[in-house]
Amino acid sequence: MLKRLPASSARSPLAGSHCITRPGTVGGAANRPGAAFAILLCLCAVPQAGASGWDLDRLMRAVAANAQQPLSYREEKLLGLLETPLRSSGRLRVVPPNTLLREVLEPYRVRYVIGADDLITMEQEDQPPRVVQLGRVPAAAAMVGTLRALLLGDRSALEQLYRLKVNGDPNAWTLELEPRDTELARHIDLLRVEGTEGHIRFLSILERNGDHTRMELRPDE
């Protein structure tokens, strides 16, 4: 998996500066000789964050303040089942109080409404909407709900599922989410979010089976 990451980063049109500048802190870093150093760096980063007054609380409040801004995204999935990355792009929009609209525009059009109560509605042209309820599969509900909670800046929802750790300063911060729940940890290794001020720019989800999702976000014009 990790062997694949730099390669795909290089190949990926998504490979932005964030990915390349901090590859070592992505989950699984312990396999690398530089891991200890990376961890040390992280530890050092904490007091710095405090010094600049940048902490989880501020980060979340800043993100929540921007929550309603429509975003466009480009996603790349590196899956064990596939030989090549699976790409898609579209728009994301939060509808208060807690619904997330995810509209896939490329390579085809489909709209997902990720509502409260772990309900997902799938709307496709010339097809009746399909509803999936995830409540019976908590891990799946958590995975689906995480993006919504992140974009909403819903700290308590995130803290129920993950241990959160902030690094960096307001201009370039990273947030690491490590599953608390053993059930969720069976599926997810680590989530990594990068951003500037109240804007989330990049999201990486590393799954336990080696699947890797990378999503780049920017304000939708």
Partner 1 sequence: MSERNRLLRIGMWCAAAMLAAWWVAVHTKLRSDPSAMIPHRLDEPGRLLMEQIQQGPASRMILLAISGGTLEGRVAASRALAERLRGDGRLATVSNGERAPDENLARILFEYRYLLRDLSEADFSGPALREALHAGLRELRSPLSPLHSRLLPADPTGEMARLLAGLTQRREPARAGGVWVSPDHSQALLIAETPMAGLDLDGQRERVAAIEGAFAAVRTDAAAALRLSLSGPAVLALAVETRIRNETTLLGLVATLGLLALLHRGYGSGLALLYGSLPGLGAVLFGAAALGVFYGEIHAITLALGITLLDVAIDYPLHLFSHGPAALTKGPLQGLGGTLALSVVTTAVAFGSLLFSGLPGLEQLGALTLVGLLAAWTITLHLLPALPGVSEVRRRPLPMPTWGWLPRRARAALPAVLLGVAVLLLSTRPAIWEDDIGALSPVPQPLLTQDRALREALGAPDVGQALILIGEDREMLLQRSEDLAPRIEELVAAGAIAGAETLTAFLPSLRTQTRRQQALPAVEQVSENLVRAQVGLPFKPNGFAPFLGDLKRTKTMPPLTAEVFAGTSLGLKLDALLGRSGAHWTLLIPLHGVRAPALLAAHFAERPLAGVSYLDVRAQTSRLVAGFRDRALRQMALGGALLSLVLLAVLRSLRRTARVLLPVVLALILDVTLLAAWGQRLSLFHLVSLLLVFGVSLDYSLFAHRAGTGDAATDSAAAAHALTLCMASTVLVFGLLAWSEIPVLRAIGLTVAIGVAAAYLLVFALAPAPASGSYAT
154 binds partner 1 (CB under 8 A): no
129 binds partner 1 (CB under 8 A): no
7 binds partner 1 (CB under 8 A): no
Dist CA 19 CA 40 (whole Å):
20
Closest CB 169 distance from partner 1, rounded Å? 31
74 binds partner 1 (CB under 8 A): no
Beta-bridged to residue 215, according to DSSP, are 75, 203
Q: Would you say 29 or 141 has its CB closer to partner 1?
A: 141
25, two tokens? 């802190």
Burial tier of 80 (Cβ tally within 10 Å: 0-12, 13-18, 19+): exposed
Contact with partner 1 (CB under 8 A): which of 13, 82, 95, 129? Answer: 82
Q: Which contiguous run of DSSP H or E holds residue 88?
A: strand 86-95
Q: Contacts with partner 1 in 186-205 (CB under 8 A)?
A: 187-188
Contact with partner 1 (CB under 8 A): which of 31, 51, 81, 125? Answer: 81
Q: How far is CA 88 from the centre of its chain?
A: 15
Neighbours of 169 (CB within 10 A): 15
Q: Would you say 9 or 89 has its CB closer to partner 1?
A: 89
Beta-bridged to residue 191, according to DSSP, are 177, 205
Which region, judged by CB under 8 A, interacts with partner 1, from 1-9, 21-29, 42-50, 79-87?
A: 79-87
125, two tokens? 């042209």
Q: Which contiguous run of DSSP H or E holds residue 37?
A: helix 35-51
> Where does this chain bind partner 1 (CB under 8 A)?
75, 77, 79-84, 86, 88, 102, 104, 108, 110, 112, 114, 116-118, 120, 122, 132-141, 143-144, 147, 187-188, 207, 209, 211, 213
